[in-house]
Chain A
Amino acid sequence: MDLKSLYREIINEHNLHPAHKHDLEGATADHRGVNPSCGDDIRLQLKIKDGVIEDAAFVGSGCAISQASADMMIDLIVGKSTEEAMTLADGFMRMIQGKADDAEIEALEEAAALQSVSKMPARVKCAELGWRTLGKTLAEGAAEGEGHQPHC
């Protein structure tokens, strides 16, 4: 898919009308993710019960790719176990690095459309932000912290 189609068909809708961009009441984990050099800045909130992500949301600001990617990610991970979510986050990172296999990419559902971003080095960090923050959140449990990425 060319970049304009990607924006038109997928990114714009998630960026301008995100389903999950709001504060989450009763969140059990809350983690900030930042791309300092482009100003992408999100806070990911998860409500985890018995090892399952019951609900998730994000707030923040940034470019369309960063915001849409986070929104699509939340579409995918709600209802999944933390292990499944971690596997998906790993799969997304591998896809952006051009290393994922077909099964890993297919598991990402709509977010698989961001595969073409792997060919745009300047936008890779934008696409990764939500997923990187998810990975850190799950790795650190409910601990507070920041997921900084010095360059993007």
Chain B
Amino acid sequence: MNQALQDIRGDFPILAGSDLIYFDNAATTQKPRQVLDAVVNYYNTQNANPLRGLYGLSVAATEAYEGARETVRAFIGAQSASEIIFTRNATEALNLVAYSYGRTRVKAGDNIVIAVSEHHSNILPWQMVARETGAELRYLECGPEGQYPEEQIDSLIDERTAIVAVAQVSNVLGVSLPVESIIAKAHSAGAVVVIDGAQSTPHAPVDVTALDADFFAFSGHKLLAPMGIGVLYGKETLLEAMPPFLSGGEMIEYVTREDATYAELPHKFEAGTVNAGGAVGLAAAIDYLTDIGLEAVAAHETALTARMMTALKAIPHVSILGSDDPADHHGIVSFNIEGCHPHDVASILDTDGICVRAGHHCAQPLLAHLGIGAACRASVYLYNTEDEVDRFAAALENVRKELGYGS
């Protein structure tokens, strides 16, 4: 194990001294003391309503909040902090783009291209935009391991494509989508690209400028931050031209009885009192991950994933979804056991103190496309250990017996 990852388990109060095996990290991650302390410290020492008070404490709250924005900017390689909008989560960020950009820019006869492996959060908003504008919703179709052929990207994206919205990493298969070639093709066709980074940002360095993404969304809670804070990155020129998503306090410049002018970016998109404590927690989580290094985190995950896949392949009746290469999984191993419904498998594993997800993972079109009804998903993160993987594999070996099969 990487030196930086030695002994970090003690940083996580929920895991320290517990035998619980938490393998549902693709759903949400546990929080280190450093993050929890940062949130408590904000409320203990800096809390006031940011951005509007004319007194010292409010200035301190504003500095904490805007400092967090700068930390996020640096973390994802954005040019300017005004391109960083705080939202509740990736879902809200994607909806912001759909409502403010999609509904106003997409026209009847245009098309919107998404991938069949998308999370429902990156499907439903585009279904809504397509329905309301009369645009066509097109799906990139993946192969059994989640691979998207270049020819399909070339043929599906055309001069009538207004928006391409894809995840950087699938939440079921863990596989990377070819976002570089999708972005290049979309830009050559004049389309804007929305990247759902919910499953990529926690596991690999992201550089939105190098990527040339037009919009990029992620959730804090999947990378050690509290729930309720997420991020939308958008290119300044695009954000400037968009109407606000929500309206109310703190997003205005001037209001008369009939009209209003809106605040400058990014506050135009942050109506109402903001989640400053959450933003401070997100910055602390980013600092924590950056100290360890996302490369070290990714290497650790890949090693655990490789160990898990080797162990699972040795268990009869277990099949793993997606690529054979652990490096393609971003810590996610979805699997099924022949004859056993995933919900039964998860319930049996729960009695052994193992937390895994089971079901459709909010990706029903993908599961239908792969011809499966549901699946189990084990997903690891930086605090998981080889010993946990071994105990998980041992428990899994008994599941069929527990469900009444001879072997």
Binding site for B on A (CB under 8 A): 2-4, 7-8, 11-13, 15-16, 37-39, 62-65, 120, 122-123, 126
Contacts and interface: CB of A to CB of B under 8 A. Distances in A.
A64 B402 contact: no
Contacts of B350: 3
B31 to A, nearest CB: 23
B347 to A, nearest CB: 6
Interface in B361-395: 373-374
Given A3-B351, A39-B373, 11 more contacts: A3-B347, A7-B344, A13-B404, A15-B403, A15-B404, A16-B404, A63-B344, A64-B341, A64-B404, A65-B343, A65-B344
Interface string B330-344: 000000000011111
B222 interface: no
A12 B347 CA distance: 14
Contact of B348 (A4, A16, A37, A126): A4
A37 B347 CA distance: 16
Interface residues of B, number: 17
A8 B374 contact: no
Interface in B294-321: none
B360 interface: yes
Contacts of B351: 2-4
B404 A123 contact: no
B404 A62 contact: no
Nearest to B341: A63
Contact of B402 (A8, A39, A122, A123): A8
A62 B339 CA distance: 10
Nearest to B401: A8
Interface of B: 340-344, 347-348, 350-351, 359-360, 373-374, 402-405
A134 to B, nearest CB: 21
Contacts of B342: 63
A65 B350 CA distance: 15
Nearest to A62: B341
A16 B344 CA distance: 13
B404 A122 contact: no
Contacts of A16: 404-405
B298 to A, nearest CB: 31
9 contacts: A3-B348, A4-B348, A4-B402, A7-B344, A7-B402, A64-B340, A64-B341, A64-B403, A64-B404
A66 to B, nearest CB: 8
Given A8-B402, A13-B404, A38-B359, A122 B343 contact: yes
Q: Which of B343, B347, B351, B402 has the most chain A CB atoms closer than 10 A to its own CB?
A: B343
Complex A-B, nearest 8 residue pairs according to Cβ-Cβ distance, in ascending order: A12-B404, A63-B341, A39-B373, A63-B343, A64-B344, A16-B404, A3-B351, A63-B344
Contact of A120 (B340, B347, B360, B403): B347
